[in-house]
């Protein structure tokens, strides 16, 4: 189909009658904070709340939504570019609010992270979101939206692939049960891990609610009204392209602020491209052991999330069990 005609069909779909989801059968237990269920043909709103995307990334996002049997919708702003931002703050905010306010949109999937989400936090209409709950999905810069929106509204927020991510078999297998509200649900590390093999920093088994995301964003939110609450939480952390000394600096900040000391456990994803380029540096593993082992809370490195192809999906605020020996996270649900 000609691309221009296809996009006209996508936009036209937004004017179709509302698809009723009230009595749709689902496979799993529906959690109180996740009552919005998805069915085949549900509409998924695609947004860019951070950095801009290319036509190619939009095409990939549309294809990925279709893989799950859903219908992608987006606004005229989706390809806007203002330097390193996907349009002005107001334009990106308008898209976020539009997708939450539209009754025909069942979930919102961010196409890309990048930078820009923290600029929106003090302008978001949290009352609107609270009154129109629906899953919000993404990672990286989307960390700011996921945690802040969940803390203020209890809206279901899923740390998972962005809509333009490679949709590997593992990624699909990890996202599908979350979209289907199937709990309990076990998350195992992908067998196709990169050179960073998983290892335990401190052993143990712990229960707690999930919170976290990108290390740079977690650190940036500290000291603001949108700081992530880590008390008694299982905190999950990842980053990309940061040298060991920068990882050290951010972890040290989170230690001194009390963020890590209040956590019940820590799940570290794959820190892609974070190894030192020369022999004069500490290794990433040395930094993680030095900064986190003294906490004496269950901590494991190498879980399948972050800036990698094979990604699991971690729902913010959901009760989970971390077993470092078996390297398994079990999502228990509400």
Domains along the chain? 29-167 (3.40.50.10740), 185-333 (3.50.30.60)
Do 274 and 284 contact (CB within 8 A), yes or no?
A: yes
- The answer to whether the peptide bond before residue 184 is cis (omega within 30 degrees of 0) is yes
| Residues in CB range of 196: below 8 A, 6 or more apart | 270, 271, 284, 301, 302
Say if strands 205-214 and 314-315 run parallel, antiparallel, or are unpaired. Answer: unpaired
pLDDT of the residue at 14? 36
Q: How far is CA 270 from CA 134, 162, 187, 310, in A?
A: 28, 16, 15, 10
Across the chain, mean pLDDT equals 89
Separation CA 228–CA 212 (nearest Å): 7
Q: How many CA atoms lie within 13 A of 19 on its CB side?
A: 21
Read off the DSSP letter of residue 264: S
For residue 301, give the nearest of 327, 269, 278, 274 by alpha carbon: 269
pLDDT recorded at residue 270: 94
Res 83: pLDDT: 98
pLDDT, position 44? 97
Strand partners, 109: 46, 137
Q: What is the pLDDT along the chain (334 residues), one digit of tens a residue?
A: 333 333 333 333 333 332 222 223 232 343 444 445 788 889 999 999 999 999 999 999 999 999 999 999 999 999 999 999 999 999 999 999 999 999 999 999 999 999 999 999 999 999 999 999 999 999 999 999 999 999 999 999 999 999 999 999 999 999 999 998 889 999 988 887 655 689 999 999 999 999 999 999 999 999 999 999 999 999 999 999 999 999 999 999 999 999 999 999 999 999 999 998 888 899 999 999 999 999 999 999 999 999 999 999 999 999 999 999 999 999 998 7
Percentage of the chain beyond pLDDT 70 is 88
Nearest CA to 161 out of 250, 65, 28 is that of 65
DSSP string, 124-182: --HHHHHHS---EEE-GGGHHHHHHHHHHH---EEE---TTS---HHHHHHHHHHHTT-
Write out the catalytic residue numbers. 140, 238, 307
Cα 57 to Cα 78: distance, rounded to the nearest angstrom: 11
State residue 196's pLDDT score: 62
Could you tell me the two tokens for 324? 């470092």
Residue 157's SS3 state is strand
Q: What does pTM read for this prediction?
A: 0.88
């Amino acid at each position: 189909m000609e691309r221009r005609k296809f996009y006209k069909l996508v936009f036209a779909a937004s004017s179709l009658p509302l698809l009723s989801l009230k009595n749709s059968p689902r496979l799993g237990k529906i959690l109180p904070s996740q009552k919005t269920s998805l069915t085949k043909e549900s509409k998924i709103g695609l947004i860019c709340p951070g950095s801009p995307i290319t036509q190619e990334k939009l095409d990939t996002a549309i294809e990925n939504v279709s893989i799950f049997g859903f219908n992608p919708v987006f606004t005229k702003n989706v390809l806007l570019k203002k330097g390193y931002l996907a349009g002005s703050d107001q334009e990106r905010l308008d898209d976020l609010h539009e997708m939450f306010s539209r009754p025909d949109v069942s979930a919102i999937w961010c196409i890309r992270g990048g930078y820009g989400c923290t600029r929106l936090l003090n302008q978001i209409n949290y009352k609107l979101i609270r009154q129109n709950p629906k899953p919000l999905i993404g990672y990286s810069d989307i960390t700011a939206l996921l945690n802040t929106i969940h803390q203020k509204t209890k809206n279901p927020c899923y740390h998972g692939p962005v809509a333009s991510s490679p949709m590997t078999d593992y990624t699909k297998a990890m996202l599908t049960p979350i979209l289907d509200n199937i709990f309990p649900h076990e998350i195992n590390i992908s067998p196709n891990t990169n050179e960073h093999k998983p290892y335990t920093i401190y052993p143990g088994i712990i229960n707690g609610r999930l919170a976290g995301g990108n290390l740079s964003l977690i650190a940036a939110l500290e000291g603001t009204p949108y700081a992530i609450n880590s008390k008694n939480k299982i905190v999950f952390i990842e980053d990309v392209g940061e040298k060991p000394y920068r990882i050290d600096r951010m972890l040290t900040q989170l230690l001194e602020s009390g963020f890590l000391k209040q956590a019940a456990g820590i799940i570290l994803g794959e820190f892609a491209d974070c190894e030192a380029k020369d022999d004069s540096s500490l290794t990433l593993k040395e930094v993680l052991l030095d900064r986190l082992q003294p906490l004496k809370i269950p901590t494991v490195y190498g879980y399948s999330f972050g800036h990698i192809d094979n990604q699991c999906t971690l729902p913010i605020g959901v009760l989970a069990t971390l077993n470092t020996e078996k390297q398994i996270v079990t999502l228990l649900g509400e």
